[in-house]
Structure 1
Amino acid sequence: MNYVSRKHGLCHAVDVSQLPSVEPNSFAHLNGLGIAHDDIKDIFIPLAAMIWRRYQCWHSNFPMIIGVTGAASVGKSIFTEVLFTLLTSWCERGEVSCFTTDNFLFSSHALESMGLRHHKGFPESFDQTAMQQCLSDIRVGHSVIIPDNDHKLGGRRLNLCQQIDHPNIVLVEGVNAIYFGHYSSQVDIGIFLEAPLEAIKCWFLKRLKSFIGTSCCDSSSYFHALKGLYPEQMDEYLSRVWEEVELENYHLNILSQRDSADWVIDKKCDHAIKGLWLKG
């Protein structure tokens, strides 16, 4: 892999001069996500441009699939949302779709009954048959319906779903987005987000504590049982989840996808992108 640092300018390594313009409302949306203008210009537009250029040379009748993966809380959702917004700005309506593999997680109740309560996020906690069928259907150009999963509820939201209807570009994000239930890469462009593990731990604990704080009073929430914990008990619980679930899953199942990735995004402790590794 070849490393391109932010210092030396990804925008100089990728020609963006012939790209369509980005719509003002797209910039406004990205700013609303907390993405700085310099990051959009120096990092994300060149990255999206590489996808766009490949798409322009895409001679298949079937969609191009891009997988974005990495540890929990490393920033996959925001990263994917930025790429989706830029690509949508350059494409016709409906040509770009995105979804998360989290929508194929078994419910917390199902995981409990299968003895997988502490394996949420591990391969066996996903409905891999449904995931593989979804990817196969997208591959051959079929329209697919994807369930809507809510982490706070610990399961799928009834009567809510997402339709992927014959797009030309599909962005998939999740802890298994490159392997997608298989043991070999099933995407056309694989993107792995990495950062120092201590930073990922801090991001994860902060997000989980926020989830619990905003939903533990809701009796229908997965986190309701944690309502009565004292602060020191909560900290102990969070640390145990990190050590026994997230960190173990990262080393066993997530990190191995890095070798299959076409791009490895190098993030700093403040979520800023320092540079990236490019295959080839």
Structure 2
Amino acid sequence: MSLGDNNEINSPFQLIERAEWKKLNGLFAHKLAQDDVKNLQALNEPLTIAEIEDIYFPLAHLLDIFIQQYRESHSLVTGYLNKHTQRLPFVIGIAGSVAAGKSTTARVLQKVLSMLPGKPNVDLVTTDGFLYPNHILNDRNILNRKGFPESYDTRLLLNFLSAMKSGEPEFEVPVYSHLEYDILKDQTQIIKMPDILIVEGINVLQVNSTTGNNVFVSDYFDYSIYVDADESDIKDWYVARFESLRATSFQNKDSYFHRYADMDKQASIKMATNIWNEINRPNLRENILPTRYRADLILKKGAHHFVRNIRVRKV
């Protein structure tokens, strides 16, 4: 049975258009400053106060319903078992293609959720930090497969999530540098039992088992979101971002991609298009897009990069 856009009646999702969705917020009376928006914005990805208020305020309100249910269930079950254990983090997974804007979604959601009543502590972890270091990828001859399932230390990622859901007081997470295109050797992110944990990455909903068991990253999620867009739009965004990076970050001599800094625009676009066609498109089609309907909620963007509609899994 198809779950596509033309089969809404039999779909496990309810389709909500943007105009209807933005009316659903009944919780937030907060106002964001333009500086807040600027700090959350990514390169070549427009973000406005209206986008945050129309899309992310209602989303945070919806998530708060699930968070409160989660906390109530914890209290009832531990009371029933007479085991009053500490409350564990509510874990949100955010998936989507390279260049789809999932990192911005994660940052905005972290900001907005931290504004909920009670001001919860919200941590954000990206699965880029769980990529194998380049020297391991080189040894395995899969550096050009970075981002594919086999390029991640899935066992470490699962250990981290297991620790969070087991009440471990803290966990050191590796940090990835997009400038160096590698894991940083002398830097880690310490996660100390947040109220809400957001885990963002292209691989978070995948079920490709690289650990020899049937435990998946998404098994630890309490809610999951997929950031969606038409493939042609994502490709255009990727190429435009590559060209912007060539004129900015790639100019840094410490950048892994500094060798592309002196390319002219035409050569840059050709290079980005080749990378998309040879690496990112196959990964999207083979590993990322098939996970879309495993999410609890799908944010569908239009060509302008703003959310056009939302699909919410029926309950």
Same structural fold, with TM-score higher than 0.5 when normalized by the shorter chain: yes
Question: Which residue of 1 is the match for residue 48 of structure 2?
Answer: 36
**C-alpha distance in 1 between matches for 2:305 and 2:115:** 24
Shift of 1:106: 2.1
1:157 counterpart SS class: strand
Question: Displacement of 1:208 after TM fit?
Answer: 2.2
- Confirm or deny: 8 A CA contact 1:95 1:169 kept in the other structure: yes
Higher mean C-alpha displacement, 243-252 vs 229-238: 229-238
The 8 Å contact of residues 297 and 311 in structure 2, kept in 1 or not, is answered as yes
1:38 shift after superposition: 2.4
2:110 counterpart of 1:84: yes
Aligned residue type for 2:108: V
Deviation at 1:31, TM superposition (A): 5.4
Asked if structure 2 preserves the Cα contact closer than 8 Å seen for 1:23 and 1:89, the reply is: no
Cα distance, 1:193 vs. partner?
1.0
Could you tell me how far apart the structure 1 residues matched to 2:240 and 2:295 are? 27
Instruction: Select 2:14's aligned residue among 2, 27, 30.
Output: 2
Matched residues in 1 for 2:188 and 2:29: separation? 32
Q: Give deviations 1:6-38, integer Å, cap 9, x for gaps.
A: 13x1133x3x33x3643655x741355353232
Give the alignment partner of residue 22 of structure 2, picking from 8, 11, 21.
11
How many percent identity over aligned positions?
A: 27
Number of the residue aligned with 1:260: 294
Q: Deviations over 1:14-72 (max 9, x none)?
A: 3x33x3643655x7413553532322222110001111111112133321111111100
Residue 99 of structure 2 aligns with which residue?
73
Partner residue in 2 for 1:194: 228
Aligned partners of 1:213, 1:91: CA distance in 2, in Å? Answer: 42
* Residue 225 (structure 1) aligns with: 259
Per mean C-alpha deviation after superposition, the further-off stretch among 37-46 and 122-131 is 37-46
Q: Secondary structure at the match of 1:167?
A: coil
Partner amino acid for 2:307?
I
Q: Distance in 1 between matches of 2:250 and 2:113?
A: 37
Aligned to 1:62: 88
CA distance in 2, matches of 1:234, 1:71: 21
Choose from 12, 18, 30 the match for 1:22: 30
Instruction: Give RMSD over aligned pairs.
Output: 2.3
Q: Normalising by the residue count of structure 2, what TM-score does the alignment of the two structures yield?
A: 0.79
The change in CA–CA distance for 1:256 and 1:274 in structure 2 (over 3 A counts) is: same
The number of equivalent residue pairs is: 275
Ranges in structure 2 where 5+ consecutive residues have no aligned partner = 1-12, 75-86
Query: Who is 1:131 aligned against?
Result: 157
Report SS of the residue matched to 1:176. Answer: coil
Paired position in structure 2 for 1:208? 242
Amino acid paired to 2:129: N
Partner of residue 268 from structure 2, selected from 215, 234, 239: 234
Q: Which moved more, 1:244-253 or 1:115-124?
A: 115-124
1:49 to 55, 61, 68: 61
Picking from 189, 208, 233, the partner of 1:162 is 189
Q: Cα 1:115–1:91, aligned 2, differ >3 Å: closer, same or farther?
A: farther
Q: Could you list the structure 1 runs, at least 4 aligned residues long, displaced by more than 6 angstroms after superposition.
A: none
| Maintained 8 Å contact 2:92/2:198 | yes
Retained in 2: the 8 A contact 1:22–1:90? no
**What letter is aligned with 2:163?**
D
How has the CA–CA distance of structure 1 residues 202 and 166 changed in structure 2, closer, same or farther, with 3 Å as cutoff?
A: same
Structure 1 residue 121 displacement after superposition? 0.7
SS at match of 1:145: strand
Report the TM-score when normalising by structure 1. Answer: 0.89
- Residue in structure 2 matched with residue 110 of structure 1 by the alignment: 136
| TM-superposition CA deviations, 1:150-191 (whole Å, max 9, x none) | 112011234322111111211111101234875753211111
Gaps of 5+ in 1: none
Worse-superposed segment, 158-167 or 246-255? 158-167
3-state SS, counterpart of residue 144 of structure 2? helix
Which is greater in Rg? 2
Rounded Cα–Cα distance in structure 2 between residues aligned with 1:181 and 1:145: 25
